[in-house]
Structure 1
Amino acid sequence: MTATVPEPEPDLGVLTGQLMRALQEELFETLGEQGHPDVRPRHGSVLAFLEPEGVRATDLSARSGQHKQIIGTIVDELVSLNYVRREPDPADRRAKRIVPTGHGLDEIAKARAILAAIEERLEHALGEQRFATFREVFQEVTHLQRGWRQTRNPPA
């Protein structure tokens, strides 16, 4: 008779990946039902960081953590799907701003509402205080992890 070895607890990478996939599944399925069937998770690195007056691609890259070339490819897709358009930047005519169209603004509003409903549901399930603590600690962990290079080789 062999003893069964308990499965190890999932690590932080597994947990965050599972959370991200579950959120994306619900978000994009619901967006599809609400008139946005062409939006995919990769589009979130642009749509999630847009402002109504537009944003430069370099700013989208910095905000999302994606390379500028990837942002450019995603913007091309979103232009062809009528979610964004490129316009001259009033502050620098050589630069372009990525500006949401009416269709894009609708998607952004619906995505924010869907995510707010998910958070509300989770807050209800966990309790207000536990969910607030989770968000606070999750933000702190995310901030700490983003600074991993600074902590990798601390100065002597």
Structure 2
Amino acid sequence: MRRSERKQTDPDLGVLASRLLFAVQEELFDTLAEQGHPGLRPQHGAVLAYLDAEGSRATDLARSSGQHKQVVGKLIDELEALGYVERRPDPSDRRAKLIVPTAHGLDQMSRSDAILAAIEHRHTHAIGADVYAEFERLLREITTRQRAWRENALAEGSEV
């Protein structure tokens, strides 16, 4: 059996995780486009998913999303041009900048929360609340363990 056939019939963790991510992103961003946010792309989620309504520092967004600072900086530039965020001085450190959502950004954040809640509700209803809660618990645990393994490997200087 060819590798591509095996990945279709017996997908590994990476394939399953990416299929879930891409399917959720597709529904989220298609629905957002229908609701007045057509310029957004899934890559913007690296900023928007972690952005606090009061604002966040770019370095915190990079750390939370697991993206490089340069990637996050480029995404912030794009989101600023689209009218979703603005840069403001950080009141706790005037040298630093906060990335703050605009009214358009806050609308997107609210709509995203509602869309994702609807997706979760649909799956909870389909497989049952207990099963979905256990799936979510296990997914969190596996994600936490994988991230911790990677951080430990990097700290030890191992090839990852």
| Equivalent residue letter for 2:127 | L
Paired residues, number: 148
| Equivalent residue letter for 1:17 | S
Equivalent residue, structure 1, for 2:73? 72
1:9 is the counterpart of 2:10: yes
Equivalent residue, structure 1, for 2:108? 107
Equivalent residue, structure 1, for 2:141? 140
| Aligned pairs (5 A) from 1:1-150 | 7=6, 8-149=9-150, 150=152
Give me the whole-angstrom Cα distance separating, in 1, the residues matched to 2:59 and 2:130: 37
The alignment partner of 2:89 has SS state of strand
| Equivalent residue letter for 1:10 | P
| Equivalent residue letter for 2:49 | A
How much is the aligned-residue C-alpha RMSD, in angstroms?
1.4
Deviation at 1:13, TM superposition (A): 0.3
1:54-113 superposed Cα distances (whole Å, 9 cap, x missing partner)? 000000011111011111000000000000000000011110000000000000000110
- Which has the larger Rg? 1
| Equivalent residue letter for 2:62 | S
Give me the whole-angstrom Cα distance separating, in 1, the residues matched to 2:67 and 2:79: 16
Give me the whole-angstrom Cα distance separating, in 1, the residues matched to 2:51 and 2:29: 18
| Equivalent residue letter for 2:96 | A
Deviation at 1:151, TM superposition (A): 6.4
Give me the whole-angstrom Cα distance separating, in 2, the residues matched to 1:79 and 1:127: 41
Give me the whole-angstrom Cα distance separating, in 1, the residues matched to 2:12 and 2:149: 17
Give me the whole-angstrom Cα distance separating, in 1, the residues matched to 2:64 and 2:10: 32
1:19-76 superposed Cα distances (whole Å, 9 cap, x missing partner)? 0010011000000000000011000011111111100000001111101111100000
The alignment partner of 1:52 has SS state of coil
Give me the whole-angstrom Cα distance separating, in 1, the residues matched to 2:115 and 2:28: 6
The alignment partner of 2:110 has SS state of helix
Instruction: Write out the 4+ residue segments of structure 1 that deviate beyond 2 Å after TM superposition.
Output: 149-153
5+ residue gaps in structure 1? 1-5
| Larger helix proportion of the pair | 2
Give the share of equivalent positions with the same residue, in percent: 57
Give me the whole-angstrom Cα distance separating, in 1, the residues matched to 2:61 and 2:25: 20
Give me the whole-angstrom Cα distance separating, in 1, the residues matched to 2:127 and 2:118: 14
In the superposition, the TM-score normalised over structure 2's length comes to 0.89
Give me the whole-angstrom Cα distance separating, in 2, the residues matched to 1:148 and 1:15: 20
In the superposition, the TM-score normalised over structure 1's length comes to 0.91
